[in-house]
Each structure stands twice: as structure tokens, then as C-alpha cells.
Amino acid sequence: MHHEPPQEIIHMPRERALAEGVFALGDAELLALLLGTGLRGSPVVHLATALLDAFDGLDGVARAGPFALADRPGVGMVKALRLLGGIELGRRYVYRAGRRSEPLGSSAAVFARFGPVLGGLDTEELWVMSVDARNMVRGCRRVSLGGSHACGLAPRDILRSAVVDGAVGLVMVHNHPSGNPSPSMDDIMMTKRVMAAADLVGITLVDHLIITTNDEYRSMLDLGLIPERMPADIESPRRPYGTRLVPPAGAP
């Protein structure tokens, strides 16, 4: 797909941003702002458009490494790092600002937070979100990077952040860069180990989500791989987390 910008905005992404706000700019114009300058005799928006075409859109640019971007004519390592830094800031803002004051009512609510953060990554990351008795988020940490969660993490590594946060429950989230959202046997076994360890310290493993690059996800709770700790809303297509977490059996 070719991303040719309208002729009237080729020479003035900065002016248009000042006049209408950055939210009014297209992908090529936003990239142009980050790039700053184009090739000699060619507007910077043309360079931005060429990047979108070369990497099959903004998602491809976001997934590209600094060396792949730097190899493109007119980019170089400084601009490549500037682009990736701007995209990473956007990802972090979406995660941190999204629905901060709302409780997590379902797996869909967790996906709304983490889809933009994990959906475009080429490597696996495992995150732990701690919640209180009203399902309000108390903390969120990345505990694994690069796919080591399946074999290199003990349950205590995952529970540590929830204990530090004084949480009642926790939600695990990781991505499958392969595009297959189905949990692997390693995913299932790890979930069972964490659930058993969480029960021992009086914390509920609420859910474990797997997110893919195709904007799909699977919830271990929805799949029945984690026992439901609260009544289900039969009118909802996905099981809710409820307004209060029920402590696991035997918890003080």
C-alpha cells in the first residue's frame, strides 16, 4: 500500500500541527515531525512516506530495529533512535493513561490496556498487574523479557511484585509474537504453578492473558483453565472479574 500524502501538506507538517494540533496529522506527517529533515531536495514527508511503504505501515516501523531503520536512505542511526523513542513513549502513555481510575472488570479490559503495549512486539514479554479487592490496579511490572518466562521464572519471581504492592490479586499478561494466541503447555503449567503458590500466600491469580500481533488474545479464565472465583455474568460474552475478588480457599 502506498502512503502518498496530500500535496497541500507535503511542505508543512509543523505548520499544520501548530494550526490544527498533532492529533490532526496523518502517520506520515507524525513520522516527519520525529525525523525533522528529509533528503536533499526532498520534503521530509516524502522520507516518512517511503518508510511507511518500506515497512508496510506504522506497525512495521514500530517493530523494525534501529539498524533496519538506519539503513534507509536519509535516516541514519540518530533519526532511527528518535523514531523508536517516540513510538515507545506513545506505547507507554497508552498503557499508563488508559482507564487508570476504572476497575478491571473483564479480560477485555486487561486487553484494552496491554494490546497497544505488547501487540506489536517481536519478542516475548511477561507482565504482572497487581490489583486490590475492588480490582483497581495497584502496580504493574515487566518481570520477563525475551521469552524466558516458560522455563526461567519461579512462581516467587512473579508473585514478588504483588506481595510488595500489598495486592489481593494479580493478572499475568504475556505476548506470542508468532501470532498464535492459544496457550502452550508451558503457559498452562506455569499458570498452574503460580496459581498454587499464590493460594499459599493468600493472593488470587485472577487471570493470565496471551496477546498476539494480530490484535487477538486468549484468557485462561475465559478458557476455564483458571477456576472462577466469583459468579459469572451470563449476559456477558466474557466472564467478568467481579467488583470484589474472593480470597482463595484457606487464605487468612
DSSP state of 8: G
pLDDT at 10 over 80: no
Domain match, 75 and 108 both: no
What's the confidence (pLDDT) of residue 103? 77
What's the confidence (pLDDT) of residue 120? 74
pLDDT at 245 over 70: no
Give the total number of structural domains in the chain.
2
In a domain, 225, yes or no: no
pLDDT at 107 over 60: yes
Q: Can you name the residues that pair with 131 across neighbouring β-strands?
A: 137, 169
**Rounded Cα distance, 45 and 35, in Å:** 9
CATH number, domain at 212?
3.40.140.10
**Rounded Cα distance, 50 and 89, in Å:** 23
In a domain, 236, yes or no: no
Domain match, 73 and 109 both: no
Using alpha carbons only, what angle is made at residue 117 by residues 233 and 165, rounded to the nearest 5 degrees? 70
**Rounded Cα distance, 62 and 49, in Å:** 14
Give the residue from 92, 128, 113, 153 showing the smallest Cα distance to 207. Answer: 128
Average pLDDT over residues 146-160: 73
Q: Is 44 helix (H, G, I), strand (E, B) or coil?
A: helix
Q: Is the pTM of this model over 0.95?
A: no
Residue ranges making up the domain that contains 135: 102-219
Most confident of 2-16, 43-57, 140-154, 219-233: 43-57
In a domain, 83, yes or no: yes
pLDDT at 69 over 80: yes
Last residue of a domain, one of 73, 94, 115: 94
Domain match, 195 and 215 both: yes
In a domain, 48, yes or no: yes
Crossing angle of helices 76-97 and 107-118, in 10° steps, is 170
